[in-house]
Amino acid sequence: MSNVINDTKIPNNVDLSSDKKLQRALEQWQPSFLRWWMEMGPEGFQADDVWLRTAISVDAEGWAHFDYVKMPDYRWGIFLADATPDRKIGFGDNLGQPVWKEVPGEHRNALRRLIVTQGDTEPASVEQQRLLGQTCPSLYDLRNLFQVNVEEGRHLWAMVYLLHSYFGRDGREEAEALLQRRSGDPDKPRILGAFNAPCLNWLSFFMFTFFTDRDGKFQLLALAESAFDPLSRTTRFMLTEEAHHMFVGETGISRVVERTAQLMKEAGPSGDVRKLGGVDLPTVQKYLNYWYSLSLDLFGGEISSNAAQFFANGLKGRAHEEKEFTEHTALGQSYAVDQFKDGAAVKEDVPLRNAMNEVLRDSYVVDCQRGVDKWNRVLESHGIDFRLTLPSRRFHRHQGIWADVAATPGGEIVSREEWNRRRHEWLPSESDEAYLQSLMTKPIYEPGKMANWIAPPARGIKGQPLDFQYVRHDA
Ligand code: BYC
């Protein structure tokens, strides 16, 4: 295992002190990061002690250390998974050649763009979630929110390390710009669509961590295959942290569904849980439709020459390239992709390399379905017939071939006028949003207590009881 240096300003396992120039550059970026964190990080909790895990090494056993820490004092560090000895490029035109320790000149721009796009999502999500603490359903959930937030901050560090180390002056400028853009700001928005959407209630937060963080998982898996070894090693370690974020989303929705099922029984024949202060299942479905469709967009166009180039050049592979595929050049093969022609959907074969975004999206859809099945098992266990479903991938899209097509969640193509008229049958309306926010006006700071609209989790964090003081907040 690589040594971890924890007593410097920037914890790291990359032997930062041996490169004084790089160390100085990152130490200069650090105060800008902290200023950004104080301005755009969780509002109202920066002085609290939060029971957080901090990455202190990269081995499977001991990488996470749990303790109380004030968020601005969190030890954001730089951790790369250990190098695989003699690692070879696993796909594309350079298959079988040694991986790169430096950035080849001809791939510099493309790699920088991928790293900047990945990096931009990390602070964006913190910005989107910055007010949620003020309406937390429990101290347990408050702590999970902050855990997610500080780790997204660390993932920003991970990308900034690559920019500073391997991209010279351009990289340093990009690292500055990552702190300048703002989620939802029309003048300086974040790069990808979903990261400019407001996330103002906890149902959105759980959907975001389930669906949008899961895009993160698949993009990181694809980048972990990269021939640029430092990117591969960085993203491999990020995936370890990402797993908890998706757990927060999956169990969060499960707990909402569980509580709703209980309230439906209490409500009697009307089944009207809104009267009892619960989140009704049609509203859960609308938020699912919204965050899932925005997250599908994050995979880019179905047919993409960018994606083909990334694959050909070894910059970005497929998830689990070695385990799941037997052929790794993707040449002379095709992939059936939906096309929209003469007002109808038709499947057409396109060269596999050009369909790489769709290949990744397909794996993502299967993974999402697993979570939805779990939520439906909760409903089934209560004898409730309602089932949550993933909408068609044609529905509510802003990227790719479906971007200008009006389709229902069932995938039926309708006129734009009909779509607009029926929009709020499928997507949250202002009144749905207002209803959720009305449920979540009062934060719950009492240890062990839960808001009425959500069931408690099965267990606490890392062996702690549910009524543990996960955040010491002086209300
Ligand atoms: N919004 O060839 P196309 C995470 C742009 S999440 C706006 O179809 P390409 C996390 C695209 O950039 C994971 N623009 O797509 C989760 C291109 O622009 P240019 C983040 C979009 O290039 C939760 C144009 O449309 N990581 O980690 O094959 C919390 C045509 O592009 C969108 C990555 O995304 C969109 N949704 O692929 C915290 C990995 N989609 O070049 C963190 C790095 C596409 O014409 N990024 N465009 O100006 C990539 O691999 C690729 O850039 C994309 C797009 C998959 C995003």
Say how far residue 343 (Cα) sits from the centre of its chain. 34
Q: Please check the confidence at residue 7 and state whether its pLDDT lies above 70.
A: no
Q: Please check the confidence at residue 62 and state whether its pLDDT lies above 90.
A: no
Q: What pLDDT shows up at residue 300?
A: 97
Share of the chain above pLDDT 90, in %: 92
Cα(79) to centroid(ligand 1), Å: 24
**Of 107, 117, 128, 304, best ligand 1 pocket probe by most atoms within 8 Å of the beta carbon:** 117
235: Cβ below 6 Å to ligand 1?
Answer: no
Of 76-80, 111-115, 137-141, 230-234, minimum mean pLDDT range: 76-80
Nearest residue to 95 via CA among 272, 252, 312: 312
Q: What pLDDT shows up at residue 343?
A: 86
Nearest residue to 260 via CA among 141, 133, 436: 436
What is the SS3 assignment for 82?
coil
Q: Please check the confidence at residue 451 and state whether its pLDDT lies above 70.
A: yes
Average pLDDT, the chain: 96
The two tokens of residue 89 are 């490029």
Calculated CA dihedral for residues 327, 330, 333, 337, nearest 10 degrees: 120
Cα(380) to centroid(ligand 1), Å: 37
Burial state string for 25-54 with b = 16 or more CB within 10 A and e = fewer than 16: bbeebeeebeebbeebbbeebeebbbbbbb
Task: Give every CB contact of residue 11 below 8 A, 6+ residues apart in sequence.
Answer: 4, 5, 56, 75, 76, 77, 78, 79
Q: What pLDDT shows up at residue 55?
A: 83
| Tens digits of residue pLDDT in 109-153 | 999 999 999 999 999 999 999 999 999 999 999 999 999 999 999
> Residue 466: what are its φ and ψ, rounded to 5°?
-65, -30
| Tens digits of residue pLDDT in 40-56 | 999 999 999 999 998 88
- How many whole angstroms separate alpha carbon 53 and alpha carbon 247? 15
Residue 61 binned pLDDT confidence (cut-offs 50, 70, 90):
low
Share of the chain above pLDDT 70, in %: 98
Q: What pLDDT shows up at residue 428?
A: 98
Span 256-266, average pLDDT:
98
Sign of CA dihedral 312, 317, 322, 323: negative
Cα(118) to centroid(ligand 1), Å: 8
| Tens digits of residue pLDDT in 265-276 | 999 999 899 999
pTM: 0.97
360: Cβ below 6 Å to ligand 1?
Answer: no
Radius of gyration of the CA atoms of the chain, in A = 23
299: Cβ below 6 Å to ligand 1?
Answer: yes
Cα(430) to centroid(ligand 1), Å: 28
